[in-house]
C-alpha cells in the first residue's frame, strides 16, 4: 500500500488499560463483542453488520447499535494491512502514545482472549510523550470510541512517526488548538443543558425550575398554576411575605425560537410602579424585543446563553432532582492567555 493511501486509526485498550500487555507483548490490536462470532463470514455491508449486532445484542438501543456495528465494520473491512494505528495509553499506565502499522488481516480467535476475539497483528514503530503533540491532536484522540479513524490531525501523527516534528512542542500560548478545545467543550456543555431542559422540563415544569434557581439566589417565589397566567409565571421577592419591594414578575418560555416584542411588551404591561419584569427563554429574542427592553430600566431579558450562565454559577446549590436532570461535573480546560502587548 502506498503511503498516501494509508489510513490512520485510533484504538483503545480499555478504560484501565486491560489490554495493554496484549497490545504490546503480543503485537495485536483487538476489540470486543464476542457474541457476534467470526465476522469474516458476514457480507461486507454496514446493514448486514447491523443485523448481526442486533441479533447478538438485542438489548442495544438504536444509537448503540449504529455505533457498535460501525466500529466492527471498520475493523473488519475498512482497516487494511499497511494502515497506521495510534494507541494512546491510559493515564493509569504511562500516558504515552504508541504508533504502529497494521501487519495482519482480520482474524477471529477467542483463544487469544474470549472477551476480545476480533484481532489484527500490528508492528509498533515508535512511542512518544503526549507533550509532543498539539492540544487539538490530543483532543481528537480523546474520543471515547474503541476504534475510529483519525482525520483532522492525521498529518501531525504521521509526521511525528517519521521524526519530522520538532522535539520541543509549540508554546501553549501559540497553540491555536487550545482555544478550539476550550470552546468546543464549553459549547457542548451549553448545548447539553439547553437540550435537556427543553426535553425534560418543557412547558410549565421549566417555571418551577426557574423558581428553584431564583430560590438558591436568595429570592422567595410563587409559581402561577398551569394555564392562562396573564404573561406572568412566577412572582419573586426578597421578604418571606412578599410585601417589600422590589417585586419581580417572571415570564418563562421553554421553546427554542426567538421571542418577539409583543410577548415582551405584554409582560411589561403587567408591571406596576416599583415592580420589575424578568423574561427568561431557552432561545433568544428578536431585535425588536431587545430594543424595547433596552429603554425600560425595570425590564430584563435573559436568553438561553445567559440562562446557562446562571445555572452554572449556582449549579452546586441546585436540588438533587435538578442536578439529576443536568448531570455535570467540574473539569478544568486550558484557557489561552491573551497577548496584552
User: pLDDT tens for residues 230-252?
Assistant: 679 999 998 887 777 789 999 99
Q: 53 and 143 share a domain?
A: yes
Predicted pLDDT of residue 90: 83
Domain range for 66 is: 3-169
Query: Which CATH number goes with the domain that contains 127?
Result: 3.10.590
Has residue 186 got a pLDDT over 80? no
Indicate whether 58 belongs to any domain: yes
Q: 7 and 139 share a domain?
A: yes
CA–CA distance, 34 with 328 (Å, rounded to integer) = 33
Q: Which residues contact 93 (CB under 8 A, 6 or more apart)?
A: 17, 20
Q: 30 and 164 share a domain?
A: yes
**221 CB burial (10 A radius; 0-12, 13-18, 19+):** buried
User: pLDDT tens for residues 24-34?
Assistant: 999 999 999 99
Indicate whether 79 belongs to any domain: yes
Has residue 339 got a pLDDT over 60? no
Query: Which CATH number goes with the domain that contains 259?
Result: 3.40.1350.10
Range 19-23, long-range pairs (CB < 8 A, 24+ positions): 19/113, 19/116, 20/89, 20/90, 20/93, 22/112, 22/113, 22/116, 23/87, 23/98, 23/122
Q: Could you say which of 125, 150, 169 is where a domain stops? A: 169
Q: Are 98 and 135 in contact (CB under 8 A)?
A: no
Predicted pLDDT of residue 169: 46
Q: 151 and 50 share a domain?
A: yes
Q: 157 and 244 share a domain?
A: no
Q: 218 and 161 share a domain?
A: no
CA–CA distance, 101 with 85 (Å, rounded to integer) = 6
User: pLDDT tens for residues 68-93?
Assistant: 999 999 999 999 999 999 999 987 78
Amino acid at each position: 500500500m502506498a503511503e498516501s493511501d494509508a489510513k490512520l486509526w485510533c484504538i483503545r485498550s480499555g478504560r484501565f488499560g486491560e489490554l495493554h500487555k496484549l497490545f504490546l507483548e503480543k503485537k495485536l490490536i483487538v476489540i470486543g463483542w464476542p457474541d457476534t462470532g467470526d465476522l469474516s463470514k458476514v457480507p461486507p455491508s454496514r446493514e448486514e453488520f447491523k443485523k448481526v449486532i442486533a441479533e447478538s445484542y438485542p438489548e442495544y438501543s438504536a444509537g448503540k447499535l449504529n455505533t457498535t456495528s460501525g466500529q466492527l465494520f471498520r475493523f473488519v473491512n475498512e482497516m487494511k494491512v499497511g494502515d497506521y494505528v495510534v494507541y494512546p495509553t491510559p493515564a493509569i499506565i504511562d500516558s504515552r502514545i504508541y504508533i504502529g502499522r497494521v501487519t495482519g488481516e482480520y482474524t477471529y480467535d477467542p483463544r487469544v482472549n474470549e472477551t476480545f476475539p476480533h484481532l489484527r497483528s500490528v508492528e509498533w514503530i515508535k512511542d512518544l510523550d503526549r507533550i509532543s503533540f498539539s492540544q487539538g491532536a490530543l483532543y481528537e484522540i480523546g474520543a471515547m470510541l474503541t476504534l475510529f479513524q483519525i482525520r483532522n490531525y492525521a498529518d501531525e501523527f504521521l509526521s511525528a512517526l517519521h521524526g519530522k516534528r520538532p522535539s520541543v512542542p509549540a508554546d501553549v500560548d501559540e497553540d491555536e488548538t487550545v482555544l478550539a478545545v476550550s470552546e468546543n467543550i464549553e459549547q457542548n456543555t451549553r448545548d447539553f443543558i439547553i437540550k435537556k431542559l427543553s426535553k425534560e422540563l418543557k412547558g410549565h415544569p421549566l417555571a418551577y425550575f426557574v423558581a428553584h434557581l431564583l430560590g438558591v439566589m436568595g429570592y422567595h417565589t410563587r409559581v402561577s398554576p398551569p394555564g392562562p397566567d396573564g404573561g406572568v409565571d412566577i412572582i419573586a421577592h426578597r421578604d418571606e411575605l412578599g410585601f417589600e419591594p422590589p417585586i419581580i414578575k417572571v415570564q418563562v418560555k421553554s421553546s427554542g425560537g426567538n421571542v418577539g416584542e409583543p410577548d415582551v411588551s405584554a409582560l411589561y404591561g403587567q408591571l406596576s410602579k416599583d415592580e420589575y419584569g424578568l423574561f427568561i427563554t431557552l432561545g433568544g429574542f428578536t431585535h425588536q424585543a431587545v430594543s424595547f427592553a433596552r429603554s425600560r430600566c425595570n425590564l430584563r431579558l435573559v436568553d438561553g446563553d445567559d440562562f446557562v450562565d446562571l445555572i452554572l454559577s449556582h449549579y452546586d446549590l441546585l436540588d438533587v432532582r435538578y442536578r439529576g436532570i443536568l448531570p455535570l461535573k467540574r473539569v478544568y480546560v486550558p484557557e489561552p492567555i491573551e497577548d496584552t502587548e
